[in-house]
Structure 1
């Protein structure tokens, strides 16, 4: 039994709908007609270009059903005719999405040319309610198809108030052609493209044998040229004995490195080797070595690689630790021997430890006796290589053998000395000369790093006596002791006969002369004043003051002074009679000089009250 289509939103109406009559009782359900699948018999619909035929409304406002095998759904009572263009069907709700699809499938399954089946289905359902039985069909079967298209859309979109109203819609949906009754479904989102297929990598490149020993084979290779989108998980190294095809993996776990050592092999076996790159897509084509590899120690001539600092003399101090490592090469493992000055080593003083790649010469505490020529020999079968190193153990030198004072002159001393007897097992690099004053006894360095064995010491102080000593110097430093000269050097004072130079004394005798004569002055009665003058002469001249041609002498009213060529006359509280001409006379054995000035004594002003 076909299910009812889900309610769909009603399209807008052009005219207001009249009041509907009560719905009649529902018609009996029609027996569904099984139709062939759509794929077996496609429906041939009538051409859409045919003009739609409007069904005449029957009495009572309901449309008459179509005859001649074509069922046409009529619009509800009082509803307006549907518009000419079909509205876009809205998306049906999820719960009712399957019902239209089933009805559409049933309608599509029915072949269009089987008219008797459609008529039988319409007769089984019975006539529509309130429809007159004698409603004639106005169109033929070809014209009924467009009418069914126009009538099916409003019937499906209209809201059905009751079961009686839904029955005509179901009949119209069942009677309509399959292409027109099916409701289009919502388009689904496009499905994502399938992922690209995983591909293995290309073959690893440049597989080569790096080294071969009696129990192992070391191989190297380069990554594949094409890795692909699946990446690279690692490599598998596979081996197989020559003459068989029993390939086995040499590594339990995948290796990321492009170098691998195949261990625990039997000497004399010939191995076929290949490398496979692995990723999620599987194995790559194998990279095979072109020839089987013989597991055997490859012979190599011995060779000693003497370090650069040992190619010349190696110098160490007494008491130092000597640890020398000398690398070598050769296969199989070479035989290493050491000798000192052509004799076997003393194992109590010198220790030797040899490995497959180097040999170590070790001396815990070096002594001067350990110095010498050490020879190292490396031998493989009939091949041999030798290297010689010179070990020199040095210490501080001894002092010079003797020091002499050869000569002393002026402020200089000449010294001479001889080389030390013990040079410290190395050459002397210089000497240090010191001096000491007999008065203080303090030693001062005069020369250092001096290479000659004679020297001249200068800039000595007159009257002092000096002692001298000399130190030796080598690579280790300055000798602990010094050799002092037995003689001392005295710088004597020489006698000097001093004669002062003769010179003629200057004659300072001079007749008196006034350099500054006294000047005229004016004063007021009762106010003291002073007359000044400067005079020069040798011997010191005698000064006399004269007032109005009378020698003043020892008059207490006047005070006379003569100091450093300045002569002065002080007049104490002069009166009206103290004015006049004053004369200063300077006299000595060589002559005399006279200077004159005037003194005016004024009366003080009288107040107007006294006048």
Structure 2
């Protein structure tokens, strides 16, 4: 049943007697019968002129907020109760006061006391409607003097009950649902140990250290680092930083020159201190004159390759004072002094191998150390040799004039990568091997242009940077190029007609000669069929005159006149004739007299 706490509290405190007038009315049924000689209950015979008790016929209505002037109503009810005299006939009022306690001093009021006890046990929610109807009940009560004592006695009782009624009116409203309680936070744990602690620098009074943060930090985070030191030979660790160090580098200052310090670093967070990381060796506080440094030559910064059996002589210079201590390792292990010789001076170190082998390949590391400082350099030595032959070679297919080959890489590559393959073929009739492909990178190939009817064998060589393998792998199968029924028809060509009439390509030139001096006339002619050449002098055929010599070779015609005389001059002609025609060329020959001296003339 809804209630308004504030108005109800005020009404309960000011009008406790009137509030109790509307209590439940089971009292007549519970009260016991009076004994003989005792006075009858007040309910049986009310006093004269006294109004009867209000009947409980009406059910309590829903609570309504009290008016703002409730206080004057209480004051009007109070005088009425005060003017009434106290009599034994006031029992009806006492019976209707359920809030009065059992200890109230009312004469001959035992039934009323029981009724009061029952009313005291009534639920608290009935108090609100009673308080609201209190003003009306007080107005209806008659001003009879017999009710005064009961009212006066009920008033203190009601006053004592006021706190209980206030508590009933202040019944807590239903509580709002609370949010679920969060789970307890996980326990805070320290970080893991810091990593990679080593000395970066040092001098006469300070040491600089660096490290890496822990691998596992955890949900608590990382607050910082504590750096602790103690002298070598003791365990008196002391922190050198007042505040937590945030960075992973710290300079330990104000140290004594010559002391040996053990140094460790601890990571700190809300979970506490982590396990410490400690330098493996104590640090000597001392200035380093010259730090060691390896001067690795440029050609050794990459892979150094040499063939099996070659002599290895590598010089690596370095610096550092005082003289650094030089150490060598191969693949992280000490060197085999039987295979590798090391000679070190104040300036360099020499690695010497008399005759290299493939087992000498690996990563060589040189370390130079001065006190706590060191420098390292690595070089890769690779000893290579010729590769082995391919693991297998086979003929995959044969068609027409072609053969398809496949092969697999060699099992031994000579300690270096394979750069190519060389394929050769051989005719079974001759057995001579001929290279078909070289520097070939793939693992299959097609060999073409083979001769029909021949049978071939094939082999493959491997190749790396050292050269071609000494042996080759020969395919077990043979490839036979079968003959096919092909009929050859030679092309028909029209015969060219080379016939032509004679034609002089070089004509005769006029000439002059002296009596007694032989001369020669030349010309050239062509024609098909070969023309017949005839020489003439002044249109007369010379014939077989021994004075003239006629020659005609490869179209070159010549006429030699032997020791001409005064009558051998004239016009000479050469005539060429065949079935298709003839041609003639001519020239003049002048024969002069020799010059005679004047003495001879006389």
Given the two structures, how large is their TM-score scaled by the length of structure 2? 0.33
The structure whose residues are more often helix, as a share, is 2
